[in-house]
A and B are shown apart, each in its own frame.
Chain A
Amino acid sequence: MPKAPNTALIQISGKTSGALIELNNVTKQYPNQPVAAVENFSMTVQPGELIMFVGPSGCGKTTTMKMINRIIEPTSGSISIDGRDVLSLNPSELRRHIGYVIQQIGLFPHMTIAENIAVVPKLLGWTKEKTSDRVQELLTTVGLEPGDFAHRYPKQLSGGQQQRVGVARALAADPPVMLMDEPFGATDPITREKLQAEFLRLQASLGKTIIFVTHDFDEAVRLGDRIAVLSNRSQIEQFDTPANILTNPANEYVSSFIGRGTAIKRLVLVPVTAAKLGPASAATRTTSFVQTTDSLRDALDALVLTGASALAVRDEENRIVGSINMEAISAVLGVEVPLLARTTEN
């Protein structure tokens, strides 16, 4: 961390992993508009939590997020990070301690990748050596070879690479809080899935407090610790873990937003090992496997694809530890399965 600047921000910047965010009755009312964009929004986000704001466009989810770093000023209510009143701080200094990633990325085209990442460290007055060390470290973290990428310009990078730089830039000063506005929204599905997986791995080691805005419910299920399903005026329809929302949608609005196929969506969240594995001998085919680290959805996918009744499950050393079939998957979802008394041998 940088030497704490002599501002009111010492408490926010003193931490690098996770801060408590509290929003209390936050309202945004634009002049000359009959209804508020955000009305009485209250939420407590625990340190290290990855919170997804999901809702249709225009529901106020982005507005709500942008009030936390005061890109948009709330009309009333209070916002605090680790107990410090955000609205009483200098907005520019506040923002240097909150990572910010937007869908359009917004890399500065006239600066090299290294210069882009160094923006916040420079604002914070880091030394040259410390900044350049940090740039190298971050490029490596997001999977871009520093020697190859540091001196390129944004236009010389693909969309996915630019988005990685966007994330690296937001992480530059190791802020405890990150705000992400549909960061993977503009990338193609394959790149998006890759970025999501990398992002999850990154967050597992960093433990930032993250507010992540998306309109893609599947993305919310995949990434979020908790999901806030929002309707007009940023009203919270349900705020719970992905599994709980999928199992018990609070109301009609939430169900309709989740859409069909909730069972399959839930499978994404469950590792293969959560199912009762059958005997290894039940797997008739030896050419298709699932790994113990895969999700039940991967297992289902493989079952459907191969038409096999059971698939072998391998652990990380590629030893076969059992088999999995349709009943085992259904059982995890709580669906009544005829009691066929499957035995587990591991």
Chain B
Amino acid sequence: MNLDLNGLFKFWSRRWDDILELLGEHLAVVSLSLLIALVLGVGVGMLVWNKPMSRSVVIAAAGVALTIPSLALLALLLPIFGLGWIPTVIALVMYSLLPIVRNTVVGLREVPPAIMESALGMGMTPFTVLLRVQLPMAWPIIITGVRVAAQVTIGVAAIAAYVAGPGLGQFIFQGLSSLGSKNALNFALTGTLGVVVLALLVDAAFVAITRITTSRGLRA
């Protein structure tokens, strides 16, 4: 089976609307999952950053979640949550938590003791210190965690087509299930290329997001 570039281009022009729709779905499911994971991960990080015991437990648990093969995880979620968006989002959130929680904890802990002391010494409550000093200072590290999570989840989201999840995985699975047919390679290739392009675009977007959301005083 040879790669027929002309055929591929024809495939693209014929299915351009489908491709854009799947790209959009893919981006949407990844964004939604990252947003949930950000709120959850930063929240958990803020709760455990200064408690050695719970900190280790949380990070270990998030680490374990990451070692479960994505296909297996989706298969486990399927009987409980059915098909579609819900199991996909749950799986993606689980994969996102480790980098986000870990970076939140590292970032909150990395604030120099002198700055913590002067913040407390000026009369901030520990919660105010967390919110107004530690979190903004940790933000570049946290957003780096989100960026790593984005790369992981864009890849994993492609597998989510297995549970009828949204996104480019649908093309990949369609191609794989119709091997030998005329458009099998075009489906698989388009899905894969789409995932790669999306990953590159999202990564570039994170450079901009990091820059815009980080205080000028913290930029190197």
CB within 8 Å of B: which residues of A? 69, 71, 92-97, 100, 102, 104-112, 119-120, 123, 153-155, 169-170, 179
Contact = CB atoms under 8 A, between A and B. Distances in A.
B215 interface: yes
B217 interface: yes
A69 B82 CA distance: 58
Contacts of B137: 108-110
B216 interface: yes
B118 interface: yes
Contacts of A123: 122-124, 128
A109 B217 contact: yes
B201 interface: no
B217 A153 contact: yes
A129 B128 CA distance: 23
B88 to A, nearest CB: 36
Task: Rank and list the top 3 A-B pairs by shortest CB-CB distance, nearest first.
Answer: A106-B118, A153-B217, A96-B123
B121 A169 contact: no
Contact of B115 (A95, A97, A106, A170): A106
Contacts of A97: 123
A106 B124 contact: no
Contacts of B114: 102, 104-106
A120 B122 contact: yes
B127 to A, nearest CB: 10
Interface string B94-135: 000000000000000000101101111111110010000100
A329 B86 CA distance: 89
A110 B118 CA distance: 14
B128 to A, nearest CB: 8
Contact of A111 (B112, B125, B128, B215): B215
Nearest to A69: B121
9 contacts: A71-B117, A92-B123, A95-B120, A102-B114, A106-B118, A109-B115, A109-B137, A110-B217, A120-B122
A106 B114 CA distance: 5
Interface of B: 112, 114-115, 117-125, 128, 133, 136-137, 215-218
A278 to B, nearest CB: 52
Contacts of A95: 120-123
Given A95-B122, A95-B123, 20 more contacts: A71-B117, A71-B121, A92-B120, A92-B124, A94-B123, A95-B121, A100-B118, A100-B121, A102-B118, A104-B114, A104-B118, A105-B114, A106-B115, A107-B118, A108-B133, A110-B133, A110-B137, A110-B215, A112-B217, A119-B122
A108 B124 CA distance: 13
Nearest to B126: A92
A102 B217 contact: no
A110 B117 CA distance: 16
Nearest to B216: A153
Given A104-B112, A110-B136, A110-B137, A96 B122 contact: yes
B125 A108 contact: no
Contacts of B128: 123
B141 to A, nearest CB: 13
Contacts of A170: 122
Nearest to B128: A123
A27 B120 CA distance: 22
B114 to A, nearest CB: 4
A120 B120 CA distance: 11
Contacts of A169: 122
A94, A95, A100, A109: most-surrounded residue (chain B CB, <10 A): A109
Contacts of B217: 109-112, 153-155
A111 B121 CA distance: 17
B119 A109 contact: no
B114, B121, B123, B124: most-surrounded residue (chain A CB, <10 A): B123
Contact of B117 (A94, A102, A107, A112): A102
Nearest to A155: B217
Nearest to A166: B118
Contacts of B124: 92, 119, 123
Contacts of A104: 112, 114, 118
A93, A106, A107, A109: most-surrounded residue (chain B CB, <10 A): A106
Contacts of B218: 109-110
Contacts of A153: 215-217
A105 B118 contact: yes
A106 B215 contact: no
A169 B122 CA distance: 9
B158 to A, nearest CB: 37
A155 B219 CA distance: 10
A108 B119 CA distance: 8
A112 B218 CA distance: 11
A102 B113 CA distance: 11
A238 to B, nearest CB: 29
B119 A93 contact: no
Given A110-B136, A111-B217, A153-B217, A93 B118 contact: no
A92 B217 CA distance: 26
A135 B114 CA distance: 23
